[in-house]
Amino acid sequence: MLILRELQSRDREGAGGRGRTSRNRLSTQRVASDTIPATHHAKIGAMPEAEVLSTATAAILEEKIRSRRARVGIVGLGYVGLPLAVEFAKAGFTVTGIDISEEKVRRVNAGDSYVGDIPSSTLVPLVASGKLRATTDFSAVLELDTINICVPTPLRKTKDPDMSFIVASCEEIARHFHAGTLVILE
Ligand SMILES: NC(=O)c1ccc[n+]([C@@H]2O[C@H](COP(=O)([O-])OP(=O)(O)OC[C@H]3O[C@@H](n4cnc5c(N)ncnc54)[C@H](O)[C@@H]3O)[C@@H](O)[C@H]2O)c1
């Protein structure tokens, strides 16, 4: 737990742009820490260094998710992304939604839902309590532990999915990406 608290405080330093360096340095310290679950110890002993680091990072992320301290990001706040963001926030996570639509970001932050399944009365307390916020600024990725990508994948005339929205969002995410972040493509 000591290491995790140190990680959190250094993550906050990272808001000034140094997060990536801090996290990379910490990943080496995590190997020796007792924050790694006992079930991982035998495996870690037999692993090369790179795998040990990723196992330790995964264990820390898992602990953050279980304790609801993981900072969750949703990229694309549409019919899939907004309900997902709301469910994470209701489950106790602090959620940041990222969308290129200034209108959607404004409406989320105003507690004004545009998705039929989500009443504004559900959105308002989550926004007011700071559990859910939205932004167009992808630098928010610096502060996130997990990212769910929920951007459109419309079918082309050929019936192949148009991947350009995924590519565009991933390029933005990559500009601020850091080790230890879980990315899920919905
Ligand atoms: N809607 C459904 O019932 C459903 C069901 C299963 C799977 N899906 C899949 O989920 C994904 C999202 O679907 P949806 O219905 O929520 O789409 P949607 O069009 O309602 O929402 C997509 C959101 O992504 C935003 N966006 C577009 N490009 C972006 C970018 N580069 N960066 C950040 N945000 C961006 C848009 O502004 C929009 O708010 C699609 O791949 C879809 O195939 C949807």
Q: Which of 75, 150, 173 to mutate to test the pocket of ligand 1 (most atoms within 8 A of CB)?
A: 150
Query: Is ligand 1 within 6 A of the CB of residue 177?
Result: no
Residues 31 and 85 grouped into a single domain: no
Do 92 and 165 belong together in one domain? yes
- In this structure, are 117 and 76 located in the same domain? yes
Pair 150, 97 in one domain? yes
Which of 38, 66, 94 is where one domain is finished?
Answer: 66
For residue 134 the two structure tokens come to: 């939205």
Give nearest CA residue, ligand 1 atom 18.
Answer: 78
How much distance in Å is there from the Cα of 51 to the middle of ligand 1?
Answer: 34
Residues 58 and 113 reside in one and the same domain: no
Residues 6+ apart with CB under 8 A from 105: 77, 97, 99, 134, 135, 136
| CATH number, domain with residue 134 | 3.40.50.720
For atom 40 of ligand 1, the residue with the nearest CA is: 152
Cβ atoms of 184 and 81 closer than 8 Å:
no
Q: What is the pLDDT along the chain (186 residues), one digit of tens a residue?
A: 223 333 333 344 444 434 333 343 333 333 334 444 555 455 545 656 555 557 888 999 999 999 999 999 999 999 999 999 999 999 999 999 999 999 999 999 999 999 999 999 999 999 999 999 999 999 999 999 999 999 999 999 999 999 999 999 999 999 999 888 999 998
Considering the domain architecture, whether residues 50 and 79 belong to the same structural domain is answered as no
Question: What is the Å distance from ligand 1's center to 165 Cα?
Answer: 9
- Please check whether residues 124 and 178 belong to one and the same domain: yes
Q: Tell me the residue range of the domain where 152 lies.
A: 71-185
Nearest residue (CA) to ligand 1, atom 37: 101
Say if residue 90 is in the same domain as residue 38.
no
Task: Name the domain boundary from 22, 47, 66.
Answer: 66
- Which residue in this structure is represented by tokens 């230890």? 180
Dist. CA 78 → ligand 1 center (Å): 5
> Do 116 and 161 share a domain, yes or no?
yes
